[in-house]
Every structure is written in structure tokens, then in C-alpha cells.
Amino acid sequence: MALQVEFRDVTKAFPGTPPAVDRLSLTVEAGTILALVGPSGCGKTTTMKMVNRLIEPSSGDIVLGDTPISRMPVKELRRMIGYVIQYVGLFPHMSVAENIAIVPRLLGWNKPRIDARVDELLTLVGLVPQTHRARYPRNLSGGQQQRVGVARALAADPPVLLMDEPFGALDPITRVRVQDKLLAIQGKVRKTIIIVTHDMDEAIRLGDKVAVLRAGRLVQHEAPVDILRHPKDAFVAELIGHDRLVKLLSTLSVASVMSADAAPADTPSINRAATLEGAFLRMLDTGSDALAVEGGGSLHIRDLLRVSTG
């Protein structure tokens, strides 16, 4: 189960400073991932914390499914939301299994049910239950700790998941691996996920939609390809970086722009699920201006020239 999350004109002003979040309106459709991106201090964590009412908005409301959260008992609301906090936040004195079991225990599940759920979740996040259940967080790698954090947030099967810079502490290679893992998990569980990051690459990889925040204001809220094609202003363009068109090519698949025309005999081939970046590199590598798409059809270098305008 997943639920839509709708921000309706939400403002949070702490005393004596400009609003941390300023008239935010946006909808996260049920079962999709929203990546919330922007520089330090732009209001990302404040936005997240208003969803589970760790922070109350100064005005406006957030609607979960059909229900404004201001009308829900806080306990009931939090039961519907898994929260992965900035800097992991596993309890060091509790084993992996105990960390994951926190919410189920609060909900009064019996031990066999909790044990089964812990094992199921460890498997889901790619950890071996027998090996990892009894370990303590300090005996896990950073990436493993973050996966336990994800397992803990999923424990009571909440329809909504909030993740605040969950992968911030990881090296680039582990980070991509854990991102892939999250996407694979999402393929199975289909939650409504809001994930905060200050890394535009991560936002583009993970988000069905990306929301760019600057000083509490929503600057742009679109699908990754649309943000890459048309950054709203210089601020968004700078967040994306100088390799915008490479990122665009890496976001689009061969299947999305190929033609049904057959390629000439002996043309190098490419899988239809490959990215256009991969296809372009294959063209450079083979000196061919066209590729045969496995299973039928072809991709010509002309097809790549059109992608930036969509």
C-alpha cells in the first residue's frame, strides 16, 4: 500500500529568520519517489519533519491520502511513516535485529512475528539474516548500516517512507550500489518515498520527480529528464553541473528514441535497455554512426541530436 502526500501552501517560519520553508505546494503521487534536492540550509529536513509532525507548519497543511495530517493523532500518523534520519541513527547499544524491531515491538507484535519480519527485511536489503541479525552497528560497514536503517524504516510496512540524506556518508561506488538496492526494493514494495539529498546525481537517479529547493522556495518540480532538458534558471543549471547533456543521455534508454528501421548488416549492436550514454560510447568505440538494436530496430547518431530538445 502507498498513499499520496500533498503539500498545500506549507510555510514554516522559525522566529527571527526568513521562512525555512516558504509556501510549498507539491504532490507526491502514491507509489513514487520524490527527490528533494538543494544546498545546505534550503529547508529539506524541515520539509521532511513537517510530514511526520516533528515540526508543525506555521501555515498550510499536508494531506496524506485524503486526510490532512493536522487532523490525525500524531501516533497514528507516525505509524504510517517510516523515517530514515540524516546520519543513519542506529542505536549503537542494540543489535541489528533489535534496531529493526523497534517499531514492531512498540506495536506489540509477538516474538515469532517480529523475528520473521526482521529476517524478511534483512533479506530484502541484501543482508544475510544468520550473519547480521546479532551484530552491533559498529561491526557493520557504512553501507550495511544504511541498509539496516532502511530495513528499520520499513519494519511496520508503512505506506510512506521519508529518507533524509540516507546515503550521504558513503563512498561513490558503495553509494551507487545502495541506490540500486533502494530502486530494486522500491520495485517490490512500491512505497511513496521522499528522499532528501544535496547531490543532483542522486536525485536524478532515484527520483520519479525531482523538487529543487532554494532558500525555502520550490524552484522546479519535474521528472529528471525534463529538469535536465530545461533547467528553470542558472541556479538549477549550476546544481546539475557542466555535464548536463551527458546526464541526459545517461537518463534516457535506447528504447526511448530508437527507430523501427532495420540496421545495415554488420552494424554493431546494443541492448534496448542500455542508456543513450552507453550507445554513444559504443558508437565512438566502434566508429559506427548507427547501432542495431538487439531484437529489432536501430539507433542512429541523428537520434541523439534530438534528445536535448525532447
Ligand X SMILES: Nc1ncnc2c1ncn2[C@@H]1O[C@H](COP(=O)(O)OP(=O)(O)OP(=O)(O)O)[C@@H](O)[C@H]1O
* Site residues, ligand X (CB under 6 A): 14, 17, 20, 40-46, 198
Strands (E), the chain: 5-12, 21-28, 33-37, 59-64, 67-68, 81-84, 160-164, 192-197, 209-214, 217-222, 269-270, 290-293, 298-300
Question: Residue 38 or residue 137: which is nearer to ligand X going by CB?
Answer: 38
Judged by beta carbon, residue 46 or residue 95, the one nearer ligand X is: 46
14 makes contact, choosing from ligand X, Mg ion, none, with CB < 5 to 8 Å by partner type, with ligand X
Q: Is 47 in the site for Mg ion (CB under 5 A)?
A: no
Q: Is 5 helix (H, G, I), strand (E, B) or coil?
A: strand
Residue whose CB is less far from ligand X, 212 or 240: 212
293 phi/psi in degrees, rounded to 5: -90, 130
Q: Specify the length of the chain in residues.
A: 310
What is the DSSP code (8-state) at residue 171?
-
How many residues sit in the footprint of Mg ion (CB under 5 A)? Answer: 1
Is 45 a residue that touches Mg ion (CB under 5 A)? yes
Residue 196: CB minimum distance to Mg ion, A: 6
Using CB under 5 A, which of the segments 39-47, 67-75, 135-143, 182-190 binds Mg ion? 39-47
Is 156 within 8 Å of 84 (Cβ atoms)? no
State the cell numbers at 301: 547518431
298 near Mg ion (CB under 5 A): no
Distances in Å between the Cα of 290 and the Cα atoms of 248, 268, 299 are 19, 8, 6
Q: How far is the CB of 20 from ligand X (least distance, A)?
A: 3
Closest approach, Cβ 222 to ligand X, in A, equals 20
Q: What is the DSSP code (8-state) at residue 306?
A: T
In sequence order, the 6+-apart residues with CB closer than 8 A to the CB of 149 are 84, 85, 88, 89, 90, 166
Output 56 or 171, the one with its CB closest to ligand X. Answer: 56
- Pick the piece of the chain touching Mg ion (CB under 5 A) from 12-20, 38-46, 184-192, 232-240: 38-46
The one of Mg ion, ligand X, none whose footprint includes residue 198, by CB under 5 to 8 A per kind, is: ligand X
CB of 162 to ligand X, least distance (A): 12
Q: State the minimum distance, in angstroms, from the CB of residue 238 to ligand X.
A: 16
**Residue 86: which H helix or E strand, with range?**
none
Least Å from the CB of residue 17 to ligand X: 6
Residues forming the site for Mg ion (CB under 5 A):
45
